[in-house]
Amino acid sequence: MGLPLPPICFRGLTLDWSRPYVMGVVNATPDSFSEGGRFTSTEAAVAHALELDRDGADFIDVGGESTRPVGAVRVAADVEIRRVVPIFERLAGRTRAALSVDTTKAEVARAALAAGAELVNDISGGRFDPGVVAAAESAGAGFVCGHVRGDSIAAVHASEAAPPTFDQVAEELGHRLANLPHDLRRRTIADPGLGFGKRIQENLELSRRAGELAARLSCPVMVGPSRKRFLGQLTGRPVGDRDAATIGAALAAAAAGASVIRVHDVAGVTAALRVFGAVRGEWGERA
């Protein structure tokens, strides 16, 4: 179902919320929790991004640093730039999908935006590096404002011992949104940060109440359940065998009012959303 929210427009792209949008993931890292370094070369990452585009992705989200709970290696901005900028340079003008950079560093955001990215997806919502907000604002880009607690990935995952409630996530995201520059606020999508310092109960509630969160924030909401640990806890499946569980989570979140679903299996999720929407008599045909 569409949200009663005004369209978001940035860099020539208009999102009207007439249906759920799908963000496909490209992890250009050697230590990705999901893909295990399959797309570390520019050629492999570009080929995968173009496949996601053909599969129906509305966004292609390219990241050069893992945020996995265990075993992720922090990298300097110049390393992250070397990983992602050539991908954007090769993809610019070649996809129907909008290009997004998954980063918490202002220097990386600026380099990616200059190379063709149109959206900055920051899991920390500018908390780790406030310069990310300025980079997105000055480029006229879109912004995904994620929710975490803590000032580093390690601190975020350590905070799971005392996870935030739904109301606390809503309040803290609302505070961050209120402090964004006015123009950027109008181009922002909120992300409650499934898996980042939340346990299974919180992840399920945030997915189930995605539409309520959007209404409280007056902002479209993105949900990213893809292959996450809580799906493994529910199904007993390993990371590489959680796409069916991801589809279930994606349909539930979209039905609850999530406007964007971030996933690895774009083909499966877009097909499921199309059929689910058709059965319910909602969500028009994809452009």
The set of catalytic residues is 228, 262
How far apart CA 245 and CA 249 sit, in angstroms, is 6
Residue count of the chain, please give it. Answer: 287
Token pair 């499934």 is at which residue? 194
Rounded CA-CA distance 80/164 in Å is: 30
Question: How far is the CA of 150 from the CAs of 97, 147, 205, in angstroms?
Answer: 32, 10, 21
275-285 b/e with 16+ CB inside 10 Å = b?
ebbeeeeebee
Which strand (E) or helix (H) includes residue 227?
A: none
- Angle formed by the axes of helices 200-208 and 210-217, nearest 10°: 70
CA angle in degrees (0–180, nearest 5) for 17-231-167: 60
Between strands 59-63 and 21-27, the pairing is: parallel
